[in-house]
Amino acid sequence: MTQVDVTIALVAIATACTIMMIGLGFLPFPGRAAAIWSSGFALAMLSCYLLVVADQLASSFLRAAAHGPILCASAFVWVGLRARRGREPIMLVPTIVVFSALAIVLGLAAESGAYGTVLRISFTVAAVVAALTAGELLRLRKPEREMSLPLLVVSLGFIGLAALVVVDGVVRLAQGAGAQTEADMTALYSLNELVALVYLVCAVVTLLYLARRGSQNVDPRQGLDFFGIARDRLARAKAAEDRWWSILDVRLDDPGELLEASSGRAFQRVTARFAQDIRDVMPPEADIHAVSATQVLVLLPRPDTAVRGLLSRLLDRIGTLTDQQAVPVRLSASIGVAAAPLADWDLDRLRAAASDAAAHAQVSGGDRWERAVFAP
């Protein structure tokens, strides 16, 4: 297979991966991480097309500079993983600045003997980012870590390739043949492009899965803690004949329409405000669990009159328009309320009843709360 054949195959794979990442990842599941990963695939695709154009124009400058975007694309994987984990800063701007500078220097050095050294420095920087990517992948939850294996393996493989490239440069330098122009490096390009092809395929498999899984900000152990604590509290309340406990099922109204009317980042701000409004209104002794970004369970120890007051305050707060609101529409929520004594303080029955009441509130137009009705 000639280098041109490898480049054309790489163009086809990069284009397909970009379409899949945007069409199957970002558009149906918009978010900051998915947007960054989609941009990375678009950068890789751009780099591949630049390689084809460079071959047609026989431009060593363009061919050399084209390696910058594809190395930056691999760095975007790490940036997106940081964004998904909720780390701040996510290092997006420094990544763009560093790899843009490397692309410019690669292009300017194409005809000089320093090109080989600059390329090896670029590979070293990209290998460091690949190591950081591997570290982020190892931090994932167990099911996600298993699905991240393709990207983890290829990231480690890229580190190995970069090490070989650097060792080759050291050996050449020791032999007095360290100066290499872009034309002298063509023998390495086919291998690099094959590695890039494998990297793109492995990356799209893992990143599509992660994009469709959503954010990693919520620890699943919190759910286990909530249900364990809630069962214990209700059991002790039953033993003490404490009647003033309720389960609330709070749901943001029309989440699908809000998502369609906003960008992924704006929708994240909407759901973040929704969660914060609940935390601000509920008393400190309430236990709160996010079932999803648009549904929250609350175990509330309050008498009936106090519950009604809190629910009114919460609906008013969620519906209040602010100057900084991400989506310029009035938000609303539907709430189902299940009083503990009516279900014999049984958490599962309370959750089911509150869920039915919340669903009924939504069907009835939303922006209201409904009390659960238990069959005798």
pLDDT score for 178? 63
Pairing of strands 287-292, 333-339: unpaired
Q: What does DSSP assign to residue 157? A: H
User: Cis ω on the peptide bond leading into residue 89 (within 30° of 0)?
Assistant: yes
- Give the list of residues 6+ apart from residue 336 with CB closer than 8 angstroms, or none: 248, 249, 353, 354, 355, 356, 357, 358, 359, 360, 361, 369, 370, 372
Tokens 């329409």 correspond to 257
Q: What's the pLDDT at 262?
A: 66
Model confidence, pTM: 0.61
Looking at residue 323, its pLDDT comes to: 55
Residues in the chain: 376
The C-alpha atoms of residue 331 and residue 270 are separated, in whole angstroms, by 9
Contact 154, 194 (CB under 8 A): no
Q: Residue 297: beta bridge partners?
A: 249, 289
Mean pLDDT per 10-residue section of the chain, whose length is 376 residues: 70 94 85 90 93 86 87 92 83 92 89 85 92 92 82 92 85 74 72 87 93 60 70 92 92 83 70 89 91 89 91 92 66 93 90 92 92 72
Residues 6+ apart with CB under 8 A from 122: 67, 68, 71, 102, 106
Q: What is the pLDDT of residue 296?
A: 93
CA–CA distance, 184 with 340 (Å, rounded to integer): 77
User: What order do you get walking across the sheet with 287-292 strand by strand?
Assistant: 287-292, 295-300, 246-252, 333-339, 368-371
> Is the CA virtual torsion 105, 107, 112, 117 positive or negative?
positive
Tokens at 56, concatenated: 């047609």
The torsion region of residue 191 among left (phi > 0), alpha (psi -120 to 50) and beta comes to alpha
Single-letter code of the amino acid located at 98: V
